[in-house]
């Protein structure tokens, strides 16, 4: 009698040889209406074979040797308590790296392809990249340390001006806006992700105008500002566009996730493209019901993103939980073989009053992008950029923003308009807040 659960798929665990597999960790939740007997392993078998060797029907060429060598494996199954007639689990599937050459599109097909068709509540939580595979990737050219070297900013977060409106400005209007924030001390600027190469704002003209404005500002401030110009385009155009931008003086590039991880890797590993690459994840948001921001962030880092926008619950677009957001920052900066660290960018609706909480949660190795939270300043664009620099100075010196605002009119105007927030505290380790030691009670100075 044939065994239901093929040992060549199921009789494995993490210790069976993790270095041979990309390990995908998923949350899996399933039920079948009117059915009492739920066999999760039969569903997992389908997920495994669809991401590797098999089909819904056995084929004679899929020999035991082929399955042993190339089929996916169940490495871990961790059941989560659930109501009757519901199965919930965290599972780990290993996909052999021998199944394909180091090839990003093929790798994605293994752990984020047909498997999603078989469960309405399957979510990819994380991906383990084994050393044998990772050695084929170069990762970011610059990373956190490299970008700090380019800007000369080492002991605080960086501010970044998002050019607004998203579309409609001429190259000269764009340059004029950038010039004003550069005078205010901004560290970097970027095109909005929706900015494209159009008749009213040609790519080359915009690059020339903005770089000229930044050079003019640098003569007054002595400060070099990075400009991340959008090169997002069709796959047959984007590399030439990036090379042309660098040749014509660009010191940063913006690539949207919609162009693909493989495109990012090609650009990051091109020796002619010797500037940092900012990845904008807007297109990723459509994937979040199925793939965690953590897994996507790790793949961006692997493929060469020097900086990438990241989620935060203090955002105008709170797309991920507190913990998933924090884990994104941690994964972008954690030791990862030879791969450089990627700058996280807590994004959307950022204003200076959020800075103490952002630094509390993520530390100083972040870049904070601001569009409306800089350009909407009541005293103008230059004052909006100054307010961020004043907030950085205050927070890194341990001075409350409200106290610093007495000295800086730009910061005061920002706080008056947008306010500040106080981060809530959860007293997990005590029965109630009143039983905490005095030194830990809210408002204590002890």
- Residue 443's pLDDT is what? 59
Question: Stretch 343-348: mean pLDDT, rounded?
Answer: 97
The C-alpha torsion from 211 through 213 and 215 to 216, rounded to 10°, is 170
d(CA 9, CA 19): 17
Is 351 annotated as catalytic?
no
DSSP code of 392? H
User: Is the separation of the CB atoms in 346 and 314 below 8 Å?
Assistant: yes
Assess whether the region 9-134 and the region 143-417 belong to the same CATH fold: no
Asked if the model's pLDDT at residue 292 lies above 80, the reply is yes
Question: Stretch 260-275: mean pLDDT, rounded?
Answer: 96
Which alpha helices (DSSP H) does 152-289 contain, by range? Answer: 171-183, 203-221, 235-247, 261-268
Question: Which residues on neighbouring strands pair with residue 126, listed in sequence order?
Answer: 25
- Residue 445's pLDDT is what? 53
- Give the pLDDT band of residue 442 (cuts 50, 70, 90): low
- Residue 444's pLDDT is what? 56
Would you say how long the chain is, in residues? Answer: 446
- Residue 155's pLDDT is what? 96
Is 164 annotated as catalytic?
yes
- Give the pLDDT band of residue 276 (cuts 50, 70, 90): very high
Q: What tokens appear for 147 in the block?
A: 């970008």
For domain 9-134, is the CATH number 3.30.70.150?
Answer: yes
- Give the pLDDT band of residue 65 (cuts 50, 70, 90): confident
d(CA 410, CA 22): 50
Q: Which residue among the candidates 138, 164, 166, 283 is catalytic per the annotation?
A: 164
Question: Stretch 299-312: mean pLDDT, rounded?
Answer: 98
Under DSSP, is residue 6 helix (H, G, I), strand (E, B) or coil? Answer: coil
Under CATH, which number does the domain 143-417 receive? 3.20.20.110
- Give the pLDDT band of residue 241 (cuts 50, 70, 90): very high
Residues 6+ away with beta carbon under 8 Å from 38: 30, 31, 32, 85, 86, 87
- Residue 62's pLDDT is what? 77
% residues pLDDT > 90 (the chain): 83
Asked if the model's pLDDT at residue 306 lies above 90, the reply is yes
d(CA 243, CA 250): 9
pLDDT in tens, 383-411: 999 999 999 999 999 999 999 999 999 99
| Full-model pTM | 0.94
- Residue 429's pLDDT is what? 80
CB atoms within 10 A of CB 390: 24
Task: Output the average pLDDT for the chain.
Answer: 94
Buried b (16+ CB within 10 A) or exposed e, 180-190: bbbbbbbbbbb
Question: Stretch 18-37: mean pLDDT, rounded?
Answer: 94
User: Is the separation of the CB atoms in 222 and 247 below 8 Å?
Assistant: no
User: Is the separation of the CB atoms in 157 and 392 below 8 Å?
Assistant: yes
pLDDT in tens, 412-425: 999 999 999 999 98
User: Is the separation of the CB atoms in 420 and 410 below 8 Å?
Assistant: no
Question: Which residues on neighbouring strands pair with residue 274, listed in sequence order?
Answer: none
- Residue 137's pLDDT is what? 97
CB atoms within 10 A of CB 75: 22
Domain residue ranges of the chain, discontinuous segments joined by +: 9-134, 143-417
Q: Which residue among the candidates 73, 280, 298, 340 is catalytic per the annotation?
A: 280
Q: What is the DSSP string of 124-141?
A: EEEEE--HHHHTT----S
- Residue 52's pLDDT is what? 85
- Residue 123's pLDDT is what? 97
Question: Stretch 256-278: mean pLDDT, rounded?
Answer: 96
% residues pLDDT > 70 (the chain): 99
- Phi and psi torsions of 89, nearest 5°: -160, 155
């Amino acid at each position: 009698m044939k065994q239901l659960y093929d040992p060549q798929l199921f009789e494995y665990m993490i210790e069976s040889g993790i270095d041979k597999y990309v390990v995908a960790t998923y949350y899996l939740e399933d039920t079948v209406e009117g059915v009492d007997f739920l066999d999760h392993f039969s569903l997992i078998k389908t997920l495994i074979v669809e991401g590797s060797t098999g089909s819904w029907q056995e084929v004679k060429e899929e020999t035991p040797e082929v399955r042993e060598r190339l089929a996916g494996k169940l490495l871990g199954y961790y059941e989560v308590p659930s109501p009757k007639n519901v199965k919930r689990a965290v599972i780990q599937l290993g996909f052999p790296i021998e199944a394909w050459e180091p090839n990003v599109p093929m790798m994605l097909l293994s752990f984020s392809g047909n498997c999603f068709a078989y469960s309405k509540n399957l979510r990819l939580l994380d991906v383990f990249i084994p050393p044998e595979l990772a050695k084929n990737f170069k990762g970011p050219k610059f990373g956190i340390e490299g970008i700090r070297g380019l800007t000369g900013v080492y002991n605080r977060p960086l501010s970044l001006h998002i050019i607004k409106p998203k579309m409609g400005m001429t190259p000269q209007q764009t340059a004029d806006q950038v010039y004003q924030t550069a005078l205010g001390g901004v560290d970097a600027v970027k095109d909005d992700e929706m900015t494209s190469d159009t008749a009213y704002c040609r790519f080359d003209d915009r690059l020339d105008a903005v770089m000229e404005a930044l050079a003019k500002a640098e003569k007054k401030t002595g400060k070099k500002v990075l400009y991340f110009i959008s090169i997002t385009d069709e796959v047959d155009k984007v590399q030439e566009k990036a090379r042309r931008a660098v040749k014509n003086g660009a010191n940063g590039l913006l690539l949207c996730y919609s162009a693909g991880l493989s495109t990012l890797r090609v650009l990051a590993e091109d020796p002619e493209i010797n500037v940092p690459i900012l990845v904008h994840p807007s297109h990723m948001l459509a994937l979040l019901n199925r793939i965690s921001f953590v897994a996507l962030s790790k793949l961006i880092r692997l493929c060469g993103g020097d900086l990438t926008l990241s989620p935060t619950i203090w955002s105008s677009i709170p797309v991920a939980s507190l913990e998933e957001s924090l884990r994104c920052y941690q994964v972008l900066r954690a030791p990862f073989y030879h791969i450089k660290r990627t700058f996280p960018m807590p994004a959307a609706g950022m204003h200076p009053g959020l800075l103490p909480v952002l630094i509390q949660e993520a530390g100083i190795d972040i870049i904070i992008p601001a569009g409306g939270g800089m350009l909407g300043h009541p005293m103008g664009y230059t004052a909006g950029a100054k307010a961020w620099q004043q907030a950085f100075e205050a927070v890194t010196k341990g001075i409350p923003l409200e106290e610093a605002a007495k000295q800086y009119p730009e910061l005061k105007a920002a706080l008056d308009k947008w306010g500040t927030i106080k981060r809530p505290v959860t007293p997990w380790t005590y029965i109630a807040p009143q039983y905490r030691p005095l030194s830990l009670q809210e408002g204590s100075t002890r």
